[in-house]
Chains A and B, each alone.
Chain A
């Protein structure tokens, strides 16, 4: 296999087509060059994204003062106050809440699909999970707006658009991510582990919870990390239900603004320093995402997925 990959098609030139050899050679290397160039577009895209975000965001951050920007608790563009601490905390709170809702249900569903469900159940559940993954985030947001927000208003008072609403909604949105990645990790556990546990006298449930699940823990952890990435990067759905006050929330029923919704809400009319502060917000978000990506790829490699 390795030899085939390294010969670059040289075996093709028989004596019968001697005249065309140089033309064919040219065509082959042109194609190879074009394909390689296409592959480089990814690299170019990442470089451009980094360059544009940093070049537009860092100067603003420096003018505001990096420390003031990151730890300031007041965001009042009209008074030239740009502190994004409420948004950083908002993103973290919302993500943590989403994990509380989504992770247990997601992992249990993955366990069900991998070790409990019948073939007929799976035939229904697999498409159902991919459909849940495919629902656009505006539709989720709209659902949150017309169902979850009024429900919270009825049950707990307040105006409903709150940290709690965002957590519940995002918990639902990260379900398919956690289910699919956890399920493939669980399916990758060798059957002999499970059979060994049964042979030692464990029940089906004990074998699954004490042997199969621990064996898949890197993959399950990777699914949670991927879920964190989705939750922290989600913009539209969160913005539609979270109330969006740029204040550190002191209760689950208070409005909250995330890094993402800060950008979406104000980018439309921001100018000058305000605009730069929003791009700097994106830089902070980008750093979060890159660290999460890094963690994910480490875990994925360890899980061998």
Chain B
């Protein structure tokens, strides 16, 4: 084969690979939207869930609770840990190495193992039973490494001149961190938090045996509650409400796509800001 033909074949191969990946995405999105949107009826958003009308509103409310609660644990811890790694610790300290290693390990653990751990630790050992609280604690460990990594990247992107200026004016390290470094890094941190929200909203395996599958809105922290993803799983695996399952998938996809776009937009703002100011 001539060099020209070989090049052409190679180019064709690359184009075919790229089109395959894009087709996969477009097909999945398109299929679910086309089949699901016609079934987005007002009844699906009714206030109450019952066996005839499998409303998703309670699950949506639970998802909101779950997100807020998980972030309430994970964000302070993740941001605090990132501050320690980037602002306080010496690069070479042994603690930093161990923390990095364990964070890397945590981010590779599959969600079903988090679920099993949550079931053994929070549900059984700490006697929380299947509850919003147990689910949120499990998820907060799961998203902790994500929040830590994105926050650390955002903190490292803050120019050292800011810190030096603050020290030069007589501020201490705590004040410099809280008043100068954190606000400058806020968009990057926020983008990471939003990615974390995306993971919480999409999670199923870690929640089935920690938060349970009760399809009603939780009234307190120790109530069992299913989130939208778990709801979707129940509908799909019971097989009785396939139309509603399509519609629920549309709501789930729209939420995730919105969260993605929001995160990209926030991170983009960070890029523009630091370009403008350095």
Contacts and interface: CB of A to CB of B under 8 A. Distances in A.
Contacts of B102: 42-43, 45-46
Interface stretch (A60-68, A69-77, A121-129, A247-255): A121-129
Contacts of B81: 35, 38-39, 41-42
A137 B174 CA distance: 41
Contacts of A128: 22, 25
B99 A42 contact: yes
B270 interface: no
B16 A282 contact: no
A176 to B, nearest CB: 8
Contact of A135 (B35, B148, B253): B253
Contacts of B209: 267-268
B165 interface: no
**Residue of B78, B90, B237 with most partner-chain A CB within 10 A:** B237
B112 A264 contact: yes
Contacts of A31: 173-174, 177
A122 B6 CA distance: 25
B242 interface: yes
Contacts, number: 280
A175 interface: yes
B249 A142 contact: yes
A52 B236 contact: no
A48 B117 contact: yes
B170 A6 contact: no
B231 to A, nearest CB: 9
Nearest to A14: B170
Given A39-B85, A236-B205, A285-B113, A105 B233 contact: no
Interface residues of A, number: 95
B47 interface: no
Contact of B198 (A4, A6, A36, A134): A134
Interface in A265-294: 267-268, 279, 282, 285-286, 289-290, 292-293
Contacts of B264: 127, 130
A229 interface: yes
Contact of B160 (A4, A175, A209): A4
A208 B209 CA distance: 48
- Interface majority SS on B: helix, strand, loop or mixed? helix
**Residue of A4, A6, A142 with most partner-chain B CB within 10 A:** A142
A38 B106 CA distance: 15
Given A139-B249, A205-B11, A268-B209, A49 B117 contact: yes
Contact of A109 (B17, B91, B99): B17
A195 interface: no
**Residue of A143, A145, A208, A286 with most partner-chain B CB within 10 A:** A143
Interface residues of B, number: 99
Contacts of A49: 109, 113-114, 117
A260 B4 CA distance: 48
Given A53-B117, A108-B18, A205-B10, A35 B111 contact: no
Interface of B: 3-4, 6-8, 10-11, 13-18, 20-22, 24-25, 28-29, 31-32, 35, 76-81, 83-85, 87-91, 95-96, 98-99, 102-106, 108-114, 116-117, 119-121, 125, 141, 144-145, 148, 160, 163-164, 167, 170-177, 198, 201-205, 208-209, 229, 232-233, 236-237, 242, 245, 249, 252-253, 256-257, 259-261, 264
24 contacts: A1-B160, A4-B164, A5-B89, A27-B172, A31-B173, A35-B80, A42-B81, A45-B106, A108-B18, A109-B22, A112-B17, A130-B264, A134-B202, A134-B259, A135-B202, A139-B202, A143-B31, A145-B236, A146-B242, A179-B21, A205-B14, A232-B110, A260-B112, A263-B116
Kindly list the 5 A-B residue pairs having the minimum CB-CB distance in the complex, ordered from nearest: A108-B17, A233-B110, A9-B173, A38-B80, A136-B202
Interface of A: 1-2, 4-6, 8-9, 11-14, 24, 27-28, 31-32, 34-43, 45-46, 48-49, 52-53, 56, 104-109, 111-113, 116-117, 125, 127-132, 134-143, 145-147, 172, 175, 179, 203-206, 208-209, 229, 232-236, 240, 260, 263-264, 267-268, 279, 282, 285-286, 289-290, 292-293, 296-297
